[in-house]
Amino acid sequence: MYKLRQQFLAGPYLIWIVGFILLPLLMIVYYAFTGSDGSFTLEYIAAAFTSETNRRSIALSLELGLICTLICLVLAYPVAMILNGMHLKNQGFVVFLFMLPMWMNFMLRILAWKLLLSKNGVINSVLASLGLGRVSIINTPAAVVLGMVYDFLPFMLLPIYNAMTRIRTDWIEAAKDLGAGSVTIFFRIIVPLTASGIISGIVMVFVPSLTSFAISQVLGGGHVLLIGNVIEQNFMQGAQWNAGSGLSFVLMIFVIASMAVFGMIDRDGEGTAIW
């Protein structure tokens, strides 16, 4: 009886999930596999690979996603090591550092980058006044990657930092005692013991960067067409719901497949909970 009442408390959330997540998902699947007349067709799924635009945007999304993930990993790992090495008494401070950027709306922050990077923006004004010429990275893939890294870096940093705090100093000392130098300790002890954090970080950065469309829209200025932008155009501009759903479905498969791959590597199962 008590158990039943507890389950009842989960009701509102259940309704939320079914109404706003499960049903829309099913609708996407339905539209993905039907034509405009409502009959079954694989045309829109196949379009993801046959259409030149779609192929290119998928390839570009994967490429930028991977580059962004790699940059985040390379940037976050040393930072996590340094933060961990500081042995801060107040771990809340570290969490505060991670949360700080999230206090400001992410669209605002991306728009700020647009202003900074634009042809007559702050960066170029400063460079010009120093007589160093101008850089024009706005509306290029590089600007999009910059925006992504800027936005997703905390998602890489936090899980790696977490994994690192769980490494006991006596493991490091034991390794030293057994003759290991710093390089051996890094590759044989620290990296394997933070593997679950690295994998979580990769998933948490790669998936949103793969599916993002707002950053590429603002910083790419319509020149960088990611898969997310193509989907957005299908829905918002052309009202081609079937084509948009088809692409969304393919993207979803990509996301699930990548999480499954990482889930298999991550033996502890801490990183990707869904698998």
Partner 1 sequence: MSKHLIEFTDISKSYDGSLVLDELNLYIRENEFLTLLGPSGCGKTTTLRLLGGFETPDKGRIHFDGADITDLPANERKLNTVFQKYSLFPHMSIAENIAFGLKIRKKSKSYIEDKIKYALKLVNLDGFERRSVDSLSGGQQQRIAIARAIVKEPKVLLLDEPLGALDLKLRQNMQYELMRLKEELGITFVYVTHDQEEALMMSDTIVVMNQGYIQQIGTPEMIYNEPENAFVADFIGHSNILDGTMLEDRLVEILGVRLPCVDEGFGQNRPVDVVIRPEDVELVSPAEGCMEGTVTSLIFKGVHYELDVMANGYEWLVHTTKHIPEGTKVGILVTPFNIQIMRKPESSDEKAVEVDV
* Positions in the binding site for partner 1 (CB under 8 A): 168, 170-171, 173-181, 184, 188-189, 192-193, 195
CB closer to partner 1, 3 vs 87: 87
Closer to partner 1 by CB, 97 or 193: give it. Answer: 193
Least Å distance between CB 195 and partner 1? Answer: 8
Cβ closest to partner 1, residue 194 vs residue 242:
194
**Least distance in angstroms from the C-beta of 174 to partner 1:** 4
CA dihedral over 191, 196, 197, 202, signed as positive or negative: positive
Residues near 126 by Cβ (< 8 Å), separated by ≥ 6? none
Minimal distance, residue 155 CB to partner 1, in Å: 24
H/E element, 148? helix 141-165
Burial of 271 (0-12, 13-18, 19+ CB in 10 A): buried
Straight-line distance from the first to the last Cα atom of the chain, in angstroms, rounded to the nearest whole number: 32
How far lies 225's CA from each of 172, 183, 188, in Å? 47, 42, 41
Backbone angles phi, psi at 40, to 5 degrees: -70, 135
Cβ nearer to partner 1, comparing 4 with 178 = 178
Q: Shortest distance, CB of residue 185 to partner 1, whole angstroms?
A: 9
Instruction: Pick the closer one to partner 1 by CB: 16 or 187.
Output: 187
Residue 74 Cβ, how far from partner 1 at the closest point, in Å?
23
| Cβ within 8 Å of residue 40, ≥6 positions away | 33, 34
Smallest gap from residue 184 Cβ to partner 1 (A) = 6
Other residues' Cβ atoms within 10 Å of the Cβ of residue 126: 11
3 state SS of 40? strand
Which is closer to partner 1, CB of 130 or CB of 178? 178
